[in-house]
A and B are shown apart, each in its own frame.
Chain A
Amino acid sequence: MNNSLLEMSGITKQFLGVYALQDAYLMLKGGEVHALLGENGAGKSTLMKVLGGIYSLDEGSISIDGLEVKINSVKDAKHFGISIIHQEIVLVPYLSIAENIFLGREPLKKSGFIDKKRMFQNAQKLLDDFGMELSASTLVDNLTVAQQQMIEIIKAVSFNSKIIIMDEPTSSLTEKEVRFLFRTIKSLKEQGVGIVYISHRMNELFEITDRITVMRDGKYIGTVTTKDTSNDQLISMMVGRELSKYYIKDSSNSEESILKVNQLTKQGVIKNASFELKKGEILGFSGLVGAGRSELMKCIFGLESFEKGEIIVNGQKVVIRNPNDAIQNKIAYVTENRKEEGLFLSQSVQYNITIKVLHEFMRFFKVNSKYENKETNQYIKGLSIKTTGVEQEVKHLSGGNQQKVLISRWLATKPQVLILDEPTRGVDVGAKAEIYSIMNKLAKDGVSIIMVSSDLPEVINMSDRVAVMCKGEIKAILNKDQFSQETIMHYATGGQ
């Protein structure tokens, strides 16, 4: 093909005898946005880390502008004009924006000392060019996650790279910032920059990309032109089979109130939040990042304190000062940060599932491992957790299976209210569908579910009702016949 900017072919990479990449292929043209699509563990990030010089390749070749190159280090990659915007934010918290942007390539004075003045001026110019209303001397620690993400993007762009890799760049951006990013991408495209765009959000791929390469199990599956493909085709390429039904949700029409929150207020975070949760329903919580959804859930679960308001469970007013009180009231909370706040990553599947209910297996002073095993296996089977056994360390599981382990832990406490905060974040398509069916089954069994989610299609398809929050307030509670992407976004951005 003509004007190939980058060609990676026959790329193979093993970790401890396991193939992470096997004969992977990618061809990027100048001035195109090329999506790399695949489930978690399909090898997208590994392929990009090979390109970025973080991993060395075992076999295969990389050509840039038709010339074969060797990339052995981050420095090499930069030399060839390759920049990566990583999925996790990799900025140094206690350095300023300017210092972060120029980290590793600080402008020097003749004396060999850093030319701070030039560095700050250049950084400020970049910020201004991008319309960021920030001073270059602001510490990164003081920025919001979305702002940090924008700094990452600015940093990558400032290298004048020929090839920019964006790994889930929008995962923590607000809609406005996503628009902004897309404008930036378009202007980079016009300058002939090739962009590799990794995202799980299908609608974004259809909006911004020109071609899509699909990977599965470390292998190249195929490349399609975006305007000639469909959602279904991509999903079946990713999964390798047809997914019969993605969102599975039977509607609920119970009127029995399980949980009621009245006028809950937390200074500066939540304002007069009131809502009611009915038996066996899924109540979606939508809103932009920072709207106070997680904070409200943390208040209900006793992780954060609040000044005003009451919580009513089964018609009785209850006092919840800490998570233990919440558990006593049969409330469970599955955190959005499963690695930081949820799982004990170096412990076994069993350890993670039974930690909250160990008392049930106690015989005198010791844990009866037979009962514990039985219980664990029940969840492994019931939620189809893919693991080598109860003793496997959780950190070796995929994101979806980790999430199922965490959900199992809370199901073991037999909750009547299950709060799921971003239940499918960082979870691949196949596991997503499984989690949806688990949620549907739980709801049918009478568990009331609160689902906080930033994934609009998920909110719309899985919820019986949707509460939309904006700046700490519940702006609207919509019934099934009322919700669409437009109405939800309308309330989420502060509309009345």
Chain B
Amino acid sequence: MSNIVVKENKNTNLRFNLGYSIIRFFRENIGIIIGFIVLCIVISIVNSNFLTTNNILNVLRQSSTNLYLALAMTMIIILGGIDLSVGSIIALVGVVATSSIALLGLPVYLGIIAGLLVGVLVGLLNGYVIATTVIPPFIVTLATMNIARGAAYVLSDGKPIRVMSMSFNNIGSGYIGGVLPTPVLFLIVILIICYLIMNKTKLGRYMYAVGGNAEAAKFSGISIKKVQLFAYTFSGLMAAVAGIVLASRMFSGQPTAGEGAELDAIAAVVLGGTSMSGGKGKIGGTVIGALIIGVLSNGLNLMGISSFWQYIIKGIVILVAVYTDVIKKKKS
């Protein structure tokens, strides 16, 4: 075969070093990053308490449970699906874990394992039904959303289940080395896992393939079912971690916990530039998306704006951010 000159840069080494990935990350997400920075500057001008270490760690802690959900949701949306059940899983997991400890008298670690197991099971159920039937993910997870929420109410009889245990309470409210909040530590671990899955493994590659062109995936011999099963189970597990952390922070398992959490997670994913039609997106974008939501509500709180107004502002921010993103992509 004849060799014709290859025009584009062939400096393959450049593509794989970290510096290049970071540069590319900034280039691809420039709009949302600038938005995030502007937001931070504006808030720090209005309120000098914003840029303190304490407050920043506070924002990170508050954003972390949303990010557990949002990172898994990113995978699912890239896969071409959606998971509406995560908010309800938070409640069910919280109730199961706290009642195991408070009512059954199990040790704290067993209660946590029970909770995580419940989350994994609901996720597995989602994944199994989606992979083996033709019912759309929206419908399947809408159903399990109701089932899980209902189960949380039934198990708790509609009342919070209190846990009086320092070791349980420390999971969500503790600090590592007296500085780093435990939920942020979990976040860092989860973030690393998600990054590796999405960028270094076959599994992550296959998520893009299934969401981008399911036919192509099938013809390449990829098992779509396995990929779906993994993503929804992982999402269940992440929701369970969020559920344990939240129950721990509230000293109780509450059947109302996590209401609307799935929508906050979806908002973070969408703000981060992941396409709702699947096949395209980055977890780095989701992190910034979740931080924007976190910083926004923190800033508005610092300014003393009522939570009623915060909903309206959040809605407008989502519309504007995604619209500018669409415009930007159209131009390029």
Q: Which residues of A contact B (CB under 8 A)?
A: 52, 54, 73-75, 78, 84, 86, 88, 90-95, 99-100, 103-104, 106, 108, 112-114, 116-117, 120-121, 124, 127-131, 133-135, 137-138, 183-184, 187
- Fill in one digit per residue for B200-211: 1 if any A CB lies within 8 Å of its CB, else 0: 111001001100
Report whether A135 and B6 are in contact in the complex, using a CB–CB cutoff of 8 Å. yes
How many angstroms between the C-alpha atoms of A131 and B219 in the bound complex? 26
**B328 interface contact, C-beta 8 A:** no
Given the known interface contacts A92-B279, A93-B213, A103-B216, the answer about A113 and B1 at a Cβ–Cβ threshold of 8 Å is no
Pairwise interchain contact B6-A133, C-beta atoms closer than 8 A? yes
Q: Are B196 and A133 in contact, CB atoms less than 8 angstroms apart?
A: no
B181 to chain A, nearest CB (A): 30
A427 to B266, CA, bound (A): 44
B9 proximal to A (CB < 8 A): yes
| A58 to B: closest C-beta gap in Å | 21
Which residue of A86, A94, A130 contacts B219 across the interface (Cβ within 8 Å)? A86
- A sample of 30 cross-chain residue pairs with beta-carbon separation below 8 angstroms, ordered by A number, consists of A73-B221, A84-B219, A90-B216, A91-B216, A92-B212, A93-B213, A95-B205, A100-B216, A103-B216, A103-B222, A106-B202, A106-B205, A108-B202, A114-B200, A114-B201, A117-B12, A121-B12, A124-B10, A127-B6, A128-B3, A128-B6, A131-B1, A131-B2, A131-B4, A133-B6, A134-B6, A135-B10, A137-B15, A138-B8, A184-B1
Task: Kindly name the residue among B202, B218, B222, B280 whose own CB sees the greatest number of chain A CB atoms within 10 A.
Answer: B202
Q: Is B220 an interface residue (CB 8 A)?
A: yes
Q: Which residues of B contact A86 (CB under 8 A)?
A: 219
Question: Closest CB of chain B to A344's CB: distance in Å?
Answer: 20
- Inter-chain contacts of B5 with A (CB < 8 A): 133
Is A54 a contact of B219 with CB atoms below 8 Å?
yes
Interface size of B by CB at 8 A reads 32
Give the CA-CA distance A62 to B4 in the complex, in Å. 40
Contact of B8 among A94, A117, A135 (CB under 8 A): A135
- Bound CA–CA A357/B221 (angstroms): 46
B219 contacts A92, CB within 8 Å?
no
Q: Which of A84, A113, A117, A130 contacts B201 (CB 8 A)?
A: A113
CB distance from A185 to the nearest CB of B (A): 12
Check A104/B3 contact, CB under 8 A, given A93-B212, A94-B208: no
Contacts of B218 in A (CB 8 A): 54, 74
**Shortest Cβ distance from A53 into B: residue:** B221
When C-beta atoms are compared, the residue in chain A nearest to B281 turns out to be A94
A residues less than 8 Å from B200 (CB atoms): 113-114
Residues of B within 8 A of A100 (CB): 216
CA distance A91 to B279 in the complex (A): 11
Contact B1 A130 (CB under 8 A): yes
Q: Is the CB of A74 within 8 A of B220?
A: yes
CA distance in complex: A188, B10 (Å): 27
8 nearest A-B residue pairs (beta carbon): A104-B220, A90-B216, A113-B200, A92-B212, A135-B8, A74-B221, A131-B4, A94-B280
The residue on B at minimum CB distance from A52 is: B219
Assembly CA distance A108 to B203 (angstroms): 12
Known: A106-B205, A112-B201. A94 touches B1 (CB 8 A): no
Residues of B within 8 A of A88 (CB): 215
What CA separation (Å) do A73 and B222 show in the bound complex?
11
Which residues of chain B in 214-232 are interfacial with respect to chain A, using CB atoms and an 8 Å cutoff?
215-222
Cβ of B7 under 8 Å from chain A: yes
For window 263-287 of chain B, which residues contact chain A by CB distance below 8 Å? Answer: 279-280
Most buried by B among A92, A95, A117, A120: A92
Nearest Cβ in chain B — how far from A142, in angstroms? 10
Q: In whole Å, how far is B179's beta carbon from the nearest beta carbon of chain A? A: 32
Residues in B lying within 8 Å of A, measured CB to CB: 1-10, 12, 15-16, 196, 200-202, 205, 208-209, 212-213, 215-222, 279-280
B215 → A minimal CB distance (Å):
5
CA distance in complex: A78, B279 (Å): 25
- Given known contacts A103-B205, A113-B201, A135-B6, A90 and B219 CB-to-CB distance under 8 angstroms: yes
**CB-CB < 8 A to A106: which residues of B?**
202, 205
B1: chain A residues within 8 A (beta carbon): 129-131, 183-184, 187
Provide the residues of chain A in CB contact with B9, threshold 8 Å.
135
Q: How far apart sit A100 and B279, CA to CA, in the bound complex (Å)? A: 13
Closest to A111 in B: B200
Q: Known: A131-B4, A135-B6. Is A75-B221 also a contact (CB below 8 A)?
A: yes
Nearest A residue to B2 via CB reads A131
Select from chain B the residue with minimum beta-carbon distance to A116.
B16
Contact A95 B12 (CB under 8 A): no
| Contact across chains for A95 and B209 when beta carbons are under 8 A apart | yes
Residue of B nearest to A74 (CB): B221
**Which residues from chain A contact B3 at a C-beta distance below 8 Å?**
128-129, 131
Once the chains bind, are A117 and B208 in contact (CB under 8 Å)?
no
CA distance A108 to B216 in the complex (A): 21
Closest to A130 in B: B1
- How far, in whole Å, are A496 and B236 apart by their CA atoms in the complex? 65
Whether the Cβ atoms of B280 and A117 lie closer than 8 Å is no
Question: What is the CA–CA distance of A74 and B202 in the complex, to the nearest angstrom?
Answer: 18
| Smallest CB separation, A281 vs chain B (Å) | 39
Q: Which residue of A lies closest to B8 (CB)?
A: A135
Whether B8 contacts A103 by the Cβ 8 Å rule is: no
Asked if B202 contacts A120 (CB within 8 A), the reply is no
CB < 8 Å neighbour of A99 from B196, B205, B215: B205
Docked pose: A284 CA to B218 CA in angstroms: 40
Q: How far is the CB of A34 from chain B (nearest CB, A)?
A: 22
In the bound complex, how far is the Cα of B200 from the Cα of A84, in angstroms? 28
CB distance from B23 to the nearest CB of A (A): 14
Distance in angstroms between the alpha carbons of A480 and B105 in the assembled complex: 94
Q: How far is the CB of A87 from chain B (nearest CB, A)?
A: 11
Q: Bound complex: CA of A74 vs CA of B218, how far in Å?
A: 8
Q: Which residues of A contact B213 (CB under 8 A)?
A: 90-93
B221 A104 Cβ-Cβ under 8 A: yes
Chain B residues whose C-beta falls within 8 Å of the C-beta of A92 in the assembled complex = 208-209, 212-213, 216-217, 279
Kindly name the residue among A78, A103, A124 whose own CB sees the greatest number of chain B CB atoms within 10 A.
A103
CB pair A94 B6 closer than 8 Å: no
A123 nearest CB across to chain B (Å):
10
Q: How far apart sit A471 and B196, CA to CA, in the bound complex (Å)?
A: 45
Chain B: CB-nearest residue to A100? B216
Interfacial chain B residues near A137, Cβ < 8 Å: 15
Distance of A86 Cα from B216 Cα, bound (Å): 10
Check if B222 sits within 8 Å of A133, measured CB to CB: no
B205 and A114: CB pair below 8 A?
yes
Complex contacts, A74 vs chain B, CB 8 Å: 218-221
Report how far A94 CA is from B12 CA in the complex, Å: 19
Least CB distance from A60 to B in Å reads: 22
Given contacts A90-B219, A92-B216, A137-B15, list 12 more A-B pairs with CB under 8 A.
Answer: A74-B219, A74-B220, A84-B219, A92-B208, A92-B212, A93-B279, A95-B212, A103-B205, A104-B220, A121-B12, A128-B3, A131-B1
**CA separation between A116 and B6, bound complex, in Å?**
20
In the bound complex, what is the Cα–Cα distance between A337 and B221 (angstroms)? Answer: 28
